[in-house]
């Protein structure tokens, strides 16, 4: 049995809110292990994330994982968010350093946490039972090497993290090599592959360039000439996503995390075809 989880981002408009809740309801029958709600760059969606998580708790049977970043915030501000999450019953937090509002080089807030390790330690001290962190099979853009990234992941685990989700990946072999390195480093927490099924290949390419994710040549060729053919792009996206997931499952991955981009249909089609 595969454990599924889905990631959403908080809505900005009334129309996008309807789309979000339609997506959540569409994916709920797949019985995900948890659903996560992101936190915009610089903590820009703090209030909307909180409201979205609270609504999931109050109006669904899903288990939410609330994202939390420490960028551009003082320790007092972050600690208050942790308290607020506790008050509404959040037991699972995805702890991230976060990106600067202008996407520039990270600079800690003068009165804030210096990095995600400090944030994880604080969450652990607050008694948060589930702490998920990020990890990067192709290394973080600001990191010197994949080995440095793995050492940083170990520090987050020592601080209290008990699960990690990878940056989205399109080549299963990259995940397999990363798993070998993780195991060699003595890391034994669940490392959950991040999967991004989408029909908007141009947008995904732009995102991949910013975070250092590789777009395989074979994948790019599958989308060639399909810019004006949404139906064909959808078929390709389902085929590629389903094949990717089956390859992971056949290689003993029992947890899969989907970056849904608040679009449920494609993710649902892939996941429902796994059984």
8 A C-beta contact, residue 160 and residue 123? yes
CB proximity list for 129: less than 8 A, separation 6 or greater: 91, 92
Q: Which of 7, 54, 118, 138 is catalytic?
A: 7
The rounded distance, in Å, linking the Cα atoms of 202 and 97 is 27
Max intra-chain CA distance, the chain: 53
Residue 237's CB is within 10 A of a number of other CB atoms, namely 22
| Nearest to 56, CA basis, from 97, 15, 17 | 17
**Would you call 133 helix, strand, or coil by DSSP?**
strand
220 counts as catalytic: no
Cite the active site residues. 7
């Amino acid at each position: 049995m595969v454990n599924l989880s889905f990631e959403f981002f908080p809505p900005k408009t009334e129309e996008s809110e309807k789309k979000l809740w339609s997506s959540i309801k569409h994916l709920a029958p797949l019985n995900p292990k948890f659903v996560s709600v992101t936190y915009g760059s610089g903590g820009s969606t703090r209030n909307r994330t909180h409201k979205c998580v609270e609504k999931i708790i109050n109006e669904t049977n899903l288990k939410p994982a609330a994202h939390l970043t420490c960028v551009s915030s003082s320790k007092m501000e972050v600690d208050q968010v942790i308290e607020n999450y506790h008050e509404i019953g959040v037991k699972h937090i995805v702890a991230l350093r976060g990106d600067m509002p202008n996407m520039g080089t990270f600079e800690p807030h003068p009165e804030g946490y210096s990095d995600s390790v400090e944030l994880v330690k604080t969450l652990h001290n607050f008694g948060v039972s589930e702490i998920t962190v990020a990890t990067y099979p192709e290394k973080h853009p600001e990191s010197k090497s994949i080995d440095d990234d793995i050492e940083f992941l170990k520090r987050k685990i020592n601080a209290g993290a008990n699960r990690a989700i990878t940056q989205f990946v399109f080549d299963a072999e990259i995940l397999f090599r990363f798993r070998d390195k993780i195991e060699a480093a003595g890391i034994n927490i669940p490392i959950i592959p991040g999967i991004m099924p989408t029909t908007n290949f141009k947008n995904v390419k732009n995102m991949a360039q910013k975070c250092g994710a590789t777009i395989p040549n074979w994948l790019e060729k599958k989308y060639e000439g399909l810019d004006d053919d949404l139906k064909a792009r959808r078929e390709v996206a389902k085929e590629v996503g389903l094949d990717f997931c089956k390859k992971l499952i056949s290689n003993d991955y029992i947890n899969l995390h989907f970056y849904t981009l608040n679009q449920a249909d494609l993710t649902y089609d892939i996941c429902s075809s796994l059984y």
